[in-house]
Structure 1
Amino acid sequence: MALDIRVFPCLQDNYAFLVRDQATGQVATIDTPDADMIANAISGLSWGRLDYIFNTHWHPDHTNGNQALKNRFGCEIFGPQEVSRNAPLDQVIHPGDEIALGETRFEIMDLRGHTAGQIGYVNRDFKVAFVGDCLFVLGCGRLREGSAADMWASLTRLMTLPEDTLIYSAHEYALDNLRFAESLDIHDDLAVQASHLRTLRAQGLPTVPSRLGDEIRANPFLKLPLMEPDFDAQANRFGDLRARKDQFR
């Protein structure tokens, strides 16, 4: 059976993701940036239910809708322990765990760096990864709680997935990240992706999901550190790039 995935822009630049296991009809939302939008989307799709909330990390723009959606649908909330800092959480999950949405199973991946406990939801059969604020189109998350080494380790874990894995990032930052990547003026692989991204945004379309292989070839936060000989040097180069991006205007 297949997995239905719908992408919805909300708030200023967030994305919400609704995921439905076709075999059983069970539905989950990945994070809860806007409870009303998610509830309306479920109604518009005629899916009629929300069985689970799968949180990636605790930040309010990912968890603020937990209580309202639980009140409305009676759904069960899964996520890392840190979610309880801001919102209700029914079941704590950890990297290495597996959870089920009907007949679809998701592997829980350690994606710490943006926060100390961020996780991702990976299904290798359908080649999808919901990565929260770890990896973005041509970018990566800020180091809010973790170190450069933490984030680089998370990114390298993502890069072990097949290159045709679809990366579902939680924000629309593509054009800002593209400006930074072009300012580095260091590689040619960006040109094709740049044209594609600008076309999508000109049409009001999301740049999410992106393909992991495209990110490996064009995203400076992946491509440039990989030019270094070992993990420590890679993490240091990644940290330097992240600091430059933090100051980029």
Structure 2
Amino acid sequence: MADIVRITPLKAFSDNYIWVLHDDRAAIVVDPGDAAPVQQFLALAQLPLHAIWITHHHHDHIGGLPALHAQWPGCPVYGPAGVSGVSVPVMEGSQLPALGLDCRVYEVPGHTANHLAFHCGQHLFCGDTLFAAGCGRVFDGSIESLHASLQRLAALPAQTLCYPAHEYTLANLQFALTLEPDNPALQQRWQRDSARREQDLPTLPCLLADELQHNPFLRCGEAGIRRAARHQQPGGGDDALSVFTTLRQWKNDFRTS
């Protein structure tokens, strides 16, 4: 019988999560921006590092690679081609060794031009493309590709568990409630996730079914979201991409209370 694979979040910096997939024999880490939490976890669990997965090149996702490579020099690092520290470049459709899980790579550009996501059964490691109740900013990608990537992820089974790399949920919910202050589903989620954060518990992973109900960036065709976008950007287009573009710029400038 195969070992049960567990998924554990490790806190890093102010709001990052490094996700660790592990069974009783080995571990895989996703986006280790800091080596120390990974080293501490693996030492306590007495597990070797089997592989590292990288979604994109930002330092808070790859900064721990040199120290981890020094400790486990033979550990393969899977990620986008051209990213410093990646030893095994992967792309759309690549399959990864995942402790017995079937794991495939998706190319989901937008936040960056070469962003990847890793889909393992019910689990989606989505880096900075999809957040709970939000999405990533556009850096060296494009707004068109980010919108398309999110639409692709939204088409996955509703029971998919999403593992973003940041604890941004409450800030994203504040923005979503600005768009739809009378949405009871959003109000309930705010209460639920606020209670978790008050106990210093992660709000992640998030269920894709919830994102399809609550995340404005996945709901650009909804009448209430379109009204909010028109109010913010009078004269803006009413198609999904135009609404998405308005929302992303609005969120860039949004300040939480």
Same fold (TM over 0.5): yes
* Residue 226 of structure 1: how far off its partner (Å): 5.8
SS in structure 2 at match of 1:40: helix
For the aligned residue pairs, the C-alpha RMSD in angstroms reads 1.6
Partner of 1:37: 37
1:96 paired residue among 93, 96, 102: 93
**Deviations 1:25-63 (Å, cap 9, x if unpaired)?**
23210011110111101112232x001110000000000
- Normalised to the residue count of structure 2, the TM-score between the two structures is 0.88
Amino acid at match of 1:14: N
Partner of 2:126: 131
**Structure number with larger C-alpha Rg:** 2
**Deviations 1:39-98 (Å, cap 9, x if unpaired)?**
101112232x001110000000000111110110221111001422xxx11110001111
* Residue 176 of structure 1: how far off its partner (Å): 1.0
Amino acid at match of 2:119: V
Partner of 2:158: 163
CA contact (8 A) 1:54 1:78 kept: yes
Amino acid at match of 1:133: D
SS in structure 1 at match of 2:119: strand
* Residue 121 (str. 1) matches residue 118 (str. 2): yes
Partner of 1:63: 62
Partner of 2:143: 148
* Residue 110 of structure 1: how far off its partner (Å): 1.4
**Once superposed, which parts of structure 1, at least 4 consecutive aligned residues long, lie more than 6 Å away?**
none
Amino acid at match of 2:78: F
Q: What pairs up with 1:1-249 in 2 under 5 angstroms? A: 1=2, 2-21=4-23, 25-47=25-47, 49-74=48-73, 75-84=75-84, 88-124=85-121, 127-185=122-180, 187-225=183-221, 233-249=239-255
CA contact (8 A) 1:111 1:134 kept: yes
SS in structure 2 at match of 1:51: strand
Higher deviation after alignment, 218-227 or 110-119: 218-227
SS in structure 2 at match of 1:94: coil
Amino acid at match of 1:221: F
Amino acid at match of 1:62: H
* Residue 182 of structure 1: how far off its partner (Å): 1.1
Amino acid at match of 1:54: W
* Residue 10 of structure 1: how far off its partner (Å): 1.2
Specify every segment of 5 or more residues in structure 2 that has no aligned partner in the other structure, as ranges. Answer: 227-237
CA contact (8 A) 1:26 1:101 kept: no
Amino acid at match of 2:9: V
Higher deviation after alignment, 94-103 or 32-41: 94-103
Amino acid at match of 1:43: A
Distance in 2, matches of 1:147 and 1:161, equals: 22
CA contact (8 A) 2:5 2:99 kept: no
Summarize the Cα distance change of 1:226–1:116 in structure 2 as closer, same or farther, 3 Å threshold.
farther
Distance in 2, matches of 1:79 and 1:13, equals: 22
Percent identity of the aligned residues? Answer: 34
* Residue 188 of structure 1: how far off its partner (Å): 3.2
Specify every segment of 5 or more residues in structure 1 that has no aligned partner in the other structure, as ranges. Answer: none
**Count of aligned pairs between the two proteins:** 238
SS in structure 1 at match of 2:96: strand
